[in-house]
Amino acid sequence: MTALELAVTDLAGLRVALDLGMDRVEVCGALEVGGITPSLSLVARAIELAAGSGLGIHPIVRARAGGFTYSDDEVAVMVADVRRLVEVGADGVVVGVLRDGGVDLAALAALREAAGPLELTFHRAVDAVTDPGVLDVLGDAGVARVLTAGGADVSAGLPALRAMCSTAGRRVQVMAGGGVNETNLVSLLEAGVDAVHFSAGTRVQDPSAAAGGYGSHQVTDPERARALVELARAHGA
Backbone angles phi, psi at 167, to 5 degrees: -60, 125
Q: In Å, how far from its chain's centre is CA 155?
A: 18
Output the pTM of the full model: 0.96
Asked whether 119 and 58 are in contact (CB, 8 A), the reply is yes
Question: Could you give the count of Cα atoms lying within 13 Å of 88 in the half-sphere of its Cβ?
Answer: 21
Interval 99-132: pLDDT, tens? 999 999 999 999 999 999 999 999 999 999 999 9
Q: How many domains does the chain have?
A: 1
CATH for 139? 3.20.20.380
pLDDT of residue 213: 84
Which residue range(s) make up the domain with 33? 3-234
The identity of residue 7, as a single letter, is A
- Asked if 136 and 109 touch (Cβ cutoff 8 Å), the reply is no
Q: pLDDT (tens digit, 0 to 9) for every residue of the chain, 237 residues total?
A: 899 999 999 999 999 999 999 999 999 999 999 999 999 999 999 999 999 999 999 999 999 999 999 999 999 999 999 999 999 999 999 999 999 999 999 999 999 999 999 999 999 999 999 999 999 999 999 999 999 999 999 999 999 999 999 988 999 999 999 999 999 999 999 999 999 999 999 999 989 988 888 889 999 999 999 999 999 999 999
Region of 23 on the Ramachandran plot (φ > 0 left; ψ -120 to 50 alpha; else beta): alpha
Among candidate residues 45, 60, 43, the one with its CA nearest the CA of residue 5: 60
175, 196 in Cβ contact below 8 A?
yes
Return the bridge partners of 93, or none. 120
